[in-house]
Every structure is written in C-alpha cells, then in structure tokens.
Amino acid sequence: MSLETDRIEIAGLPPEVLQALDERAQQIGTSREDYVRGLIQKDLTAPLSLRDLYAPVREQITESGIAEEELDALLEEAREEAWQERQGKTQK
C-alpha cells in the first residue's frame, strides 16, 4: 500500500471551516492538504495529555454514580495504603 495513493475524505465540513483551513494554509504558504496532513502528523506524534489519558477513568466514575466524597475517601485510602507499603519497604 503506497502512502501517496492512500486517501482520507472528510465529508460534512461546513464551508466556513474549509475557508478557515484555506486561509491558515495560505498564511503559512502551503496547500489545504499539506496543512491538514501536518496537523494529523503533529497530533499523532505528540504525547497524550493527562485529560486524554484519564478520559476513560472519568467516564467510568461518572457512569458509576459514586459521590465525590466517596471517591475522595477511596483515593485517600489507596494513597495511604501505598504510602504504608513504601514505608515498610524502606525500613527493612
């Protein structure tokens, strides 16, 4: 499979988005296609943000219906257990 022949088509972009893409591409002296290609490459090579990494966890917490206070207590308990475990290992 040749990368030059692979295509991605994006349907349904509003005209104002296409115009903004064209204007931005023109500002940096490139084509719309090259600009979008660069955006995709930049995004895929950048590390994920903490927000992106923890999105599934946030979703599970929201779906669980757990109260914020209960979640705080569970996290504090886990933190304390981890601290106690580390203390035990360093004292040996």
pLDDT, tens digit, for every residue of 32-87? Answer: 999 999 999 999 999 988 988 889 988 998 899 999 899 889 989 999 999 999 98
Average pLDDT estimate for 20-37: 96
- pLDDT for residue 32: 95
Contact 35, 21 (CB under 8 A): yes
Residue 4: helix, strand or coil by DSSP? coil
- pLDDT for residue 3: 60
Residue 16 burial class via C-beta count within 10 angstroms: exposed 0-12, middle 13-18, buried 19 and up: exposed
Residue 6 burial class via C-beta count within 10 angstroms: exposed 0-12, middle 13-18, buried 19 and up: exposed
Asked if residue 92 has pLDDT above 60, the reply is no
Indicate the length of the chain as a whole number.
92
